[in-house]
């Protein structure tokens, strides 16, 4: 199958490209230029891309031209402004990218001749979060207090409207949390900050140590996306689907910081940031029963394995393995489980 991945130069996009290639598929991409330190650049993933289009998804005209040129069979829309804190600093870019950009993607689907299925990626933060211990299911109300969450909820609702309003029935929505894994060099994210700081022998400063998050390996999440889009193609499994880890993987920021510091070295240190920070949700939990029961999808890596694989990837690269080899080894190992 020929997949078009928007945001293929990002962290999840790079891993998805390698996963799809390992499974024998052709991959094209539309995205902005990544930093030189990114997994896409350091692993040389460009060589695995059929059409590698660099453009802003807010540019409707150029995006439609690129879609028509690539003419894919499957579309996975990952491109987004993905950071909560950056959404406070630059709300315009966040709303334009996540809402108007997704609108442009949906419009671009209309002129494709070979399209068989589409997957729009949103987030667990689309749910109206009341900080309860209840796990959110796909039919729960959507909301979003911060600009990032609100923008993704808007994109989610807009996609639901397109599914019901136009002849684009084979579209599904995947909702997952922030994933972790080797090769993530994003700013202002816990695990990349910890690994970078420990590698440089720095004391890492973290926010909200008691916040609970769903810690999921990037390959578990992407495996869910792949299983879903293939079922959308054959069974028309449209609508929204959650992909979260088991309840045992819902841990505090402190749990993660302690595990990674002990795994890294006896000298690794971290401390809480003082002062005022942007507000963030204390608790986010997804119920993934729908995906488990209808897709046969399960997380293969538990909390411990997820962190071990992430730390091991970083150590292997620091010890001389190439990012491409470290990533490929983990993909092959993951698929064999």
For residue 245, pLDDT beyond 90: yes
pLDDT digits (tens, 9 = 90+) for 132-186: 778 899 999 999 999 999 999 999 999 999 999 987 769 999 999 889 999 998 8
**Whole-angstrom Cα distance, residue 300 to residue 86?**
32
- Averaged over 61-80, what is the pLDDT? 98
Q: In terms of DSSP bridges, do strands 171-176 and 239-243 run parallel, antiparallel, or are they unpaired? A: parallel
For residue 278, pLDDT beyond 70: no
**Whole-angstrom Cα distance, residue 153 to residue 182?**
28
pLDDT digits (tens, 9 = 90+) for 247-274: 889 899 999 999 999 999 988 999 987 6
pLDDT digits (tens, 9 = 90+) for 186-236: 877 899 999 999 989 999 998 888 888 889 999 999 999 999 999 999 987
Q: CA 288 → CA 41, 49, 140, distances in Å?
A: 33, 32, 13
- Averaged over 88-111, what is the pLDDT? 97
Residue 303 structure tokens? 């909390």
Contacts of 213 (CB under 8 A, 6+ apart): 177, 178, 250, 251, 252, 253, 256, 284
- Quick one: three-class SS letters along the chain? CEEEEECCCCHHHHHHHHHHHHCCCEEEEEECCCCCCCHHHHCCHHHHCCCEEECCCCCHHHHHHHHHHHCCCEEEECCCCCCHHHHHHCHHHHHHHHHHHHHHHHHHHHHCCCCCEEEEECCHHHECCCCCCCCECCCCCECCCCHHHHHHHHHHHHHHHHHHHCCCCCEEEEEECCEECCCCCCCCCHHHHHHHHHHCCCEEEECCCCCEEECEEHHHHHHHHHHHHHHHHHHCCCEEEEECCCHHHEEEHHHHHHHHHHHHCCCCEEEECCCCCCCCCCECCECCHHHHHHHCCCCCCCHHHHHHHHHHHHHHHHCCCCHHHHHHHHHHHHHHC
| pTM of the full structure | 0.95
CA 302, 305, 306, 307 dihedral sign is positive
Residue 57 structure tokens? 């998804």
Confidence of residue 277 (pLDDT cuts 50, 70, 90): low
**Whole-angstrom Cα distance, residue 332 to residue 269?**
33
> What structural domains and CATH numbers belong to the chain?
2-329 (3.40.50.720)
* Percentage above 70 pLDDT, the chain: 96
Beta carbons within 10 angstroms of residue 200's beta carbon: 8
Residue 227 structure tokens? 């299983």
**Whole-angstrom Cα distance, residue 128 to residue 3?**
32
Residue showing tokens 């841990």: 251
Regarding predicted confidence, which is higher, 25 or 268?
A: 25
Segment among 23-32, 79-88, 208-217, 253-262 with least mean pLDDT: 208-217
């Amino acid at each position: 199958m020929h997949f078009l991945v928007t945001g293929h130069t990002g962290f999840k996009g790079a891993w998805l490209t390698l996963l799809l290639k390992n499974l024998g598929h052709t991959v094209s991409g539309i995205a902005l230029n990544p930093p030189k330190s990114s997994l896409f650049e350091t692993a040389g993933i460009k060589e695995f891309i059929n059409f590698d289009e660099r453009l802003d998804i807010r540019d409707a005209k150029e995006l439609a031209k690129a879609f028509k040129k690539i003419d894919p069979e499957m579309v996975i829309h990952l491109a987004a402004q993905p950071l909560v804190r950056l959404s406070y600093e630059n709300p315009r870019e966040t709303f334009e990218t996540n809402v108007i950009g997704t609108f442009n993607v949906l419009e671009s689907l209309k002129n494709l001749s070979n399209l068989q299925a589409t997957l729009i990626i949103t987030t667990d933060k689309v749910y109206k979060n009341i900080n309860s211990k209840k796990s959110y299911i796909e039919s729960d109300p959507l909301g979003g207090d911060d600009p990032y969450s609100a923008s993704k909820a808007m994109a989610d609702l807009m996609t639901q409207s397109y599914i019901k309003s136009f002849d684009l029935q084979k579209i599904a929505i995947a909702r997952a949390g922030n994933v972790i894994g080797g090769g993530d060099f994003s700013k202002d994210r816990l695990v990349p900050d910890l690994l970078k700081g420990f590698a440089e022998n720095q004391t890492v400063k973290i926010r909200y140590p008691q916040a609970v998050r769903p810690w999921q390996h990037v390959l578990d999440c992407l495996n869910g996306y792949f299983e879903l889009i293939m079922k959308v193609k054959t069974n028309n499994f449209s609508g929204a689907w959650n992909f979260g880890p088991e309840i045992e993987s819902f841990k505090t920021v402190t749990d993660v910081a302690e595990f990674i510091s002990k795994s890294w070295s006896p000298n690794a240190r971290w401390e809480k940031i003082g002062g005022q920070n942007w507000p963030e949700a204390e608790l986010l939990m997804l119920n993934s029963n729908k995906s488990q029961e209808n897709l046969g999808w399960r997380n293969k890596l538990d909390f411990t394995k997820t962190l071990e694989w992430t730390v091991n990837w970083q150590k292997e690269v620091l010890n001389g393995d190439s990012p491409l080899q470290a990533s490929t080894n983990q993909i092959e190992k993951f698929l064999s489980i």
